[in-house]
Structure 1
Amino acid sequence: MNRRLFMGFLALAAAPSMARASGDKAEKKLSGGASYVQIQTVLGTTRRADGRRGVLAVECGLDVPDATLRERTYASVPRLRSAYMSAVQTYAAGLPSGAPPNVEFIGRALQQQTDLVLGKRGAKLLLGAVVVN
């Protein structure tokens, strides 16, 4: 049996089922409800207790119940990420080595940046995990 022909046949046979599977995934939302806007993890550089460089990682998202504000939020995600990166990097740079992060302070700072970027209140910041590694 010719191996190249067999592999080509397998690829053609699998193509319709893979197209259907990718179409189903496009319709499903990965996480959260209809009002949830996911933001990629925000990182900042800090010093660890042993003196080496560390990373402060902040996972967050936004709960935006108002549909018009949610559309504005989707359009403003790059600006939001930029504001979040600036706030987290500034905080991480001033974090004493070996000290745990103050999650309440980070949450207040990111909520303030959210309100500034969107121009009004209504989007609630949701923090997932704040990790120093």
Structure 2
Amino acid sequence: METLLATLLATAALALSGPPADEPEIQSGPSDRVLSTSPSYVRMEPVSASVRAGGYIGGVLEVQFSLDIPDETLREQARASMLRLRDGYTTVLTSYGGLGYWAGDVPDFVRITRLLQQSTDRTLGTRGAEVLIRAIALHEP
């Protein structure tokens, strides 16, 4: 009898308690996170390009990075040139994936950084914006 009474009380308590309160959903992806509050930090969208493996596409190389631009004038110029910067980044990454990468190798962090830095300097017409690599990923089939 005590077991039945305890079961009924527990069931009644659950029925009266109702569903838990809705919590706001927080959806954030890797590109939504703020990595720096420095005013010189310029967040860039990831850049990707296919890589070759013999005569076919061997995967996709993705680079996540940002720019550190202490000079305010150059920072505004970079923001205004965002499409040109991305075009240059895609070009050098595609070139690396097609000519400089061999299937099965680990992507060359130093070379990719150097290529992105050269593209940045060429597009902006001067030095002063430093490429900061956050991640390099190779997605193979």
Give the alignment's TM-score, normalised by structure 2. 0.68
Which residue does the alignment assign to 2:13? none
| 1:31 to partner: Cα distance | 3.6
CA distance in 1, matches of 2:64, 2:131: 11
Is 1:38 matched up with 2:33? no
Say which SS state the counterpart of residue 103 (structure 2) adopts. coil
1:125 matches 2:131: yes
* Runs of 4+ that moved beyond 4 A: none
In structure 1, runs of 5+ residues without a counterpart are 1-28
Larger radius of gyration: 2
Q: CA deviation at 1:93?
A: 1.2
Whether the 8 Å contact between 2:58 and 2:103 is mirrored in structure 1 is no
Identity %: 38
Task: Indicate which of 73, 81, 85 corresponds to 1:76.
Answer: 81
How far is the alpha carbon of 1:52 from its aligned partner? 6.1
Work out which of the residue numbers 87, 90, 104 in structure 2 matches 1:85.
Answer: 90
Q: 1:45 to 1:72 in 2, by over 3 A?
A: same
| C-alpha contact 2:40 2:68 (8 A) present in aligned 1 | yes
| Cα shift readout 1:29-71 (whole Å, capped 9, x = no counterpart) | 944221111111110101469x763110011110001111111
Q: Is 1:105 equivalent to 2:107 in the alignment?
A: no
**CA distance in structure 1 between the partners assigned to 2:75 and 2:47 by the alignment:** 20
Aligned-CA RMSD value: 1.9
Q: 1:61 to 1:48 in 2, by over 3 A?
A: same
Q: Could you state the TM-score of these two structures normalised by the residue count of structure 1?
A: 0.72
SS in 2 for 1:40: coil
